[in-house]
């Protein structure tokens, strides 16, 4: 009896002592990651991969409504209760956060960033140093319903003239050519960038950023005019439709085409698996000029500079993973998100996304001057102005010249 | 007497502390922020009255501010007519003696008011959807396809549509208050008027309406504060930018955009400017409410 008691107490002692000597399994570190929208769905594959690669990390992803995200994240960080990892918008957010000490420079903490595209890094940098990992390269194009095109024996237009012929043919058959949205952010982020990618010459873009060109130049006015010229082919009642409404109507086959972005590809597949769709780029007005695809950085992954100890280590491990090509392949496969990590091939991604990625490599615009570019980093942003005046243009309250003049007038007062 | 006063003060203290923490302190803080250049992160820089000057002199900001102010004023005016005055008329009908189904009608009128504004707004957004909304479908099915419109997408119709939805929600409360006021008028006064040869319309005009004046002014003031503070319903119907083209932009959505920004304009004009907008609106509301209170004090009638 005495020996049994001794054995029992010795075992109890060792069991209590064990964890402090590392014999028990290491406690997991919870890393909370905030992003806008429904990141639990979008980043689910990443969560699994990170937890598999680093079993000591328990990743918890939280989504916040996109329109409230900036305010909620800022308030949380300001109050010292921010998440461990978070998705940031592009500048001015990383700059503001860097100045406030919420984020740290990542050039030494995330070594792979030295192989990232420099313009992409600029969008999340402050004083030449990146404070976030550029997360998504948003690619936009014109998505079309292949079944409708095949039914009416239509082919992808290669020029503006063919484009109008396709629209007229669809209209003639009682099919609405475009599902369109009355949303300023979408007009500025998708509709006009897709048109401008092809119509704005690279030389004009570079001169604009050097203040040697103006939005009142014929190149830009012509771009506005081309968007307006498509208005007769918009869905009836488009003025009252949100972006989500327009997407739903396209998915349900109520229109043949939609100006949209690569992030919607998984939603098209999920909401209507029978929808056969593909994409094409805005065709040029003149033959011989190749169409181009617009791209922009849609945000960055950053970590909370206030973390210490194991949390900081875990957050940095997660961040380095997110910056890697492995994460890039997962995002391309699961969420049709194209990242900036070098070496991402997207071989497991949706075929339509693979097409957009190939265009990015061959036909991307060189300099972004609209949504996501340097003119979006100061107030008032070019996207807010483009959205506001382009919407007035599409509603018919101003002309393309007036819209261009207003944009130029307001952009010259950026601070 | 002194003990009673001490006890009264002691009992008021918790409420006072709570009120100071959650109402007075944020107000004072907000006023302090309005004198700073602050984007919500980082250090605050004191800039005096610059935010207030910029609000009224910057072409972009001042144009949007006055546009939002005018829309809020229109909503107040229209809701005073269609919610308050019409509510008074409906209350008289509801208070009619021996009315069958009074409880049912009272519940029917009050139901929109008790629904959460955001849920109510989102439901109406779908009812008014130009492609799949039930309103347009009903109009088409009864041969009125020409009346089917993009209600919340038309520059001319968006604000009247929003006002209609707003009035339908608010009217129930006013009807209830007016009905209570009408029922609280002693019948002896109506009987006295009847004995003097008054018709029912004369009873209402010379006896009941004067007695309802304080209630009427209180509800107009209530409607004034509600209209100028309207946010959640409008946000649900037309978004933070007051679509389309800012035709449904009101002071509250303007404030939110200024302070917190939008997707294409992160950080907006900064929290300092947002606080300045809030202070200007609060000052306006307090001033006009004070006038209402003075008018109300002088409107009491006794028979």
CATH number, position B126: 1.10.3720.10
In chain B, the residue whose alpha carbon lies closest to the alpha carbon of A386 is: B264
Domains and CATH numbers, chain A: 25-136+298-343 (3.40.190.10), 138-296+361-411 (3.40.190.10)
Determine contact, residues B11/B239, Cβ cutoff 8 Å.
no
Interchain CB contact of A66 with B (< 8 Å):
yes
Q: Report the distance separating Cα B210 and Cα B193, nearest Å.
A: 14
pLDDT at A11: 53
Task: Say which residues have a Cβ less than 8 Å from residue A11's Cβ, sequence separation at least 6.
Answer: none
Query: Which residue range forms the structural domain that includes residue B120?
Result: 44-297
Looking at the domain assignment, is residue B225 inside a domain?
A: yes
Within a domain: B238: yes
Q: What is the mean pLDDT of residues A129-146?
A: 95
φ, ψ dihedrals at B187, nearest 5°: -65, -25
- Please give the Cα distance from A30 to B218 (Å, whole number): 54
The DSSP 8-state label assigned to residue B22 in this structure reads I
Residue B79 lies in a domain: yes
In this prediction, residue A26 carries a pLDDT of: 64
In this model, does residue B300 exceed pLDDT 90?
Answer: no
Asked whether the predicted pLDDT for residue B127 surpasses 80, the reply is: yes
Of B136, B241, B267, the CB nearest to A96: B267
Q: Is residue B231 part of a domain?
A: yes
Q: Quick one: pLDDT band at residue A23, thresholds 50, 70, 90?
A: very low
Query: Residues A307-327: what's their mean pLDDT?
Result: 95
Sort residue A338 into left (φ over 0), alpha (ψ -120 to 50) or beta.
beta
The helix (H) or strand (E) run that includes residue A399 is none
Element (H, E) at A137: strand A137-145
The token pair at B62 is 């001042």
CA A122, CA A120: separation in Å to the nearest integer?
A: 5
CA atoms within 13 Å, Cβ hemisphere of A335: 23
- Count of CB contacts below 8 A, A vs B? 113
Nearest CA among B129, B115, B120, B126 for reference residue B165? B120
pTM for the complete prediction? 0.86
In angstroms, the Cα distances linking A133 to A29, A111, B84, B273 are: 22, 11, 55, 31
In DSSP terms, A29 is beta-bridged to A57
**CB pair distance less than 8 Å for B265 and A236:** no
Is the pLDDT at A290 greater than 60? The verdict is yes
Residue for token pair 């008028």: B185
How would residue A292 be classed by pLDDT, with cut points 50, 70 and 90? very high
Cβ atoms A166, A177 nearer than 8 A: yes
Task: Write the DSSP string, A25-68.
Answer: PPPPEEEEEEEES-HHHHTHHHHHHHHHH-TTEEEEEEEE-HHH
Question: If pLDDT is split at 50, 70 and 90, which confidence band does B297 have?
Answer: confident
Q: How many domains does chain B have?
A: 1
Test mutation, A99, A101, A237, chain B, max B CBs within 10 A = A237
Q: Which of B231, B89, B233, B90 is nearest to B161 (CA)?
A: B233
Q: What is the rounded distance in angstroms from the CA atom of residue B8 to the CA atom of residue B3? A: 9
B214 burial type by CB count under 10 A (0-12 exposed, 13-18 middle, 19+ buried): middle
Q: Could you give the CA distance from residue B195 to residue B197 in angstroms, rounded to a whole number?
A: 5
Residue A116 near residue A227, CB atoms below 8 Å:
no
Provide ipTM, 2 decimals: 0.82
**B245 belongs to a structural domain:** yes
Compute the distance between CA of residue A226 and CA of residue A196 in angstroms, rounded to an integer.
9
Domain assignment present for B147 = yes
Which tens digit of pLDDT belongs to each residue from B57-90?
A: 998 899 999 999 999 999 999 999 999 999 999 9
Instruction: Tell me the residues of chain A between 67 and 86 that have a Cβ less than 8 Å away from chain B.
Output: 67, 70-71, 74-75, 77-78
Q: Taking CB atoms and an 8 Å cutoff, what residues of chain B touch A184?
A: 241, 243, 264
């Amino acid at each position: 009896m005495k020996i049994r008691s001794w054995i029992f107490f010795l075992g109890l002692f060792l069991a209590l002592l064990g964890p402090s000597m590392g014999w028990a399994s290491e406690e997991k570190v919870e890393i909370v990651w905030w992003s806008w929208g429904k990141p639990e769905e979008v980043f689910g594959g990443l969560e699994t991969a990170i937890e598999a690669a680093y079993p000591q990390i328990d990743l918890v992803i939280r989504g916040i409504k996109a329109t409230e995200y900036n305010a909620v994240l800022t308030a949380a960080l300001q109050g010292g209760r921010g998440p461990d990892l978070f998705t940031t918008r592009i500048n001015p957010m990383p700059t503001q956060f860097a100045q406030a000490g919420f984020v740290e420079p990542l050039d030494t903490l995330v070594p792979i960033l030295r192989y990232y595209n420099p313009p992409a890094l600029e969008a999340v940098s402050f004083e030449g140093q990146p404070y976030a990992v550029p997360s998504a390269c948003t690619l936009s194009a014109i998505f079309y319903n292949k079944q409708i095109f095949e039914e009416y024996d239509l082919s992808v237009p290669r020029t503006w003239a063919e484009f109008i012929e396709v629209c007229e043919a669809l209209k003639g058959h009682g099919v609405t050519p475009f599902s369109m949205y009355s949303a300023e952010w979408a007009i500025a982020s998708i509709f006009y960038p897709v048109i401008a990618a092809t119509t704005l010459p690279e030389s004009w873009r570079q001169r604009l950023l050097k203040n040697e060109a103006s939005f009142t130049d014929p190149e830009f006015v012509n771009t506005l005019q081309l968007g307006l010229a498509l208005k007769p082919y918009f869905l009836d009642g488009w003025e009252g439709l949100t972006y989500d409404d327009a997407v739903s109507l396209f998915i349900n086959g109520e229109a043949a085409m939609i100006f949209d972005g690569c992030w919607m590809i998984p939603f098209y597949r999920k909401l209507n698996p029978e929808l056969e769709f593909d994409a094409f780029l805005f065709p040029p007005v003149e033959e011989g000029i190749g169409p181009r695809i617009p791209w922009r950085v849609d945000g960055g992954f950053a970590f909370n500079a206030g973390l210490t100890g194991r949390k900081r280590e875990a957050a940095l491990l997660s961040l380095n993973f997110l910056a890697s090509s492995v994460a890039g392949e997962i995002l391309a496969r699961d969420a049709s998100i194209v990242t900036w990590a070098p070496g991402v091939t997207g071989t497991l991604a949706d075929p339509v996304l693979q097409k957009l990625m190939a265009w990015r490599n061959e036909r991307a615009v060189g300099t972004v001057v609209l949504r996501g570019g340097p003119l979006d980093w100061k107030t008032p942003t070019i996207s807010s102005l483009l959205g506001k005046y382009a919407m007035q243009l599409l509603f018919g309250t101003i002309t393309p010249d007036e819209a261009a003049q207003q944009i130029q007038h307001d952009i010259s007062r950026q601070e | 007497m002194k003990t009673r006063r001490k006890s009264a003060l002691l009992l008021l203290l918790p409420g006072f502390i709570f009120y100071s923490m959650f109402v007075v302190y944020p107000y004072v803080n907000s006023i302090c922020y309005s004198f700073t250049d602050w984007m919500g992160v980082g250090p605050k820089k004191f800039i005096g009255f610059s935010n207030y000057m910029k609000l009224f002199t910057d072409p972009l900001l001042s144009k949007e501010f006055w546009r939002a102010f005018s829309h809020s004023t229109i909503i107040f005016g229209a809701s005073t007519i269609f919610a308050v005055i019409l509510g008074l008329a409906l209350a008289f009908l509801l208070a009619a003696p021996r009315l069958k189904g009074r409880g049912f009608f009272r519940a029917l009128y009050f139901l929109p008011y008790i629904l959460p504004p955001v849920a109510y707004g989102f439901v109406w957004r779908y009812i008014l959807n130009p492609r799949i909304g039930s309103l347009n479908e009903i109009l088409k099915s009864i041969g009125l396809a020409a009346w089917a419109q993009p209600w919340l997408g038309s520059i001319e119709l968006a604000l009247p549509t929003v006002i209609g939805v707003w009035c339908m929600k608010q009217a129930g409360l006013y009807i209830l208050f007016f009905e209570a006021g009408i029922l609280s008028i002693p019948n002896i006064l109506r009987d006295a008027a009847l004995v003097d040869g008054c018709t029912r319309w004369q009873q209402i005009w010379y006896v009941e309406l004067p007695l309802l004046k304080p209630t009427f002014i209180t509800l107009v003031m209530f409607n004034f504060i509600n209209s100028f503070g309207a946010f959640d319903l409008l946000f649900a119907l037309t978004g933070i930018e007051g679509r389309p083209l800012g035709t449904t932009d009101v002071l509250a959505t303007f404030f939110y955009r200024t302070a917190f920004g939008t997707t294409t304009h992160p950080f907006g004009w900064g929290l300092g400017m947002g606080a300045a907008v809030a202070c200007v609106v609060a000052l306006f509301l307090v001033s006009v409410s004070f006038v209402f209170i003075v008018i109300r004090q002088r409107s009491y009638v006794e028979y």
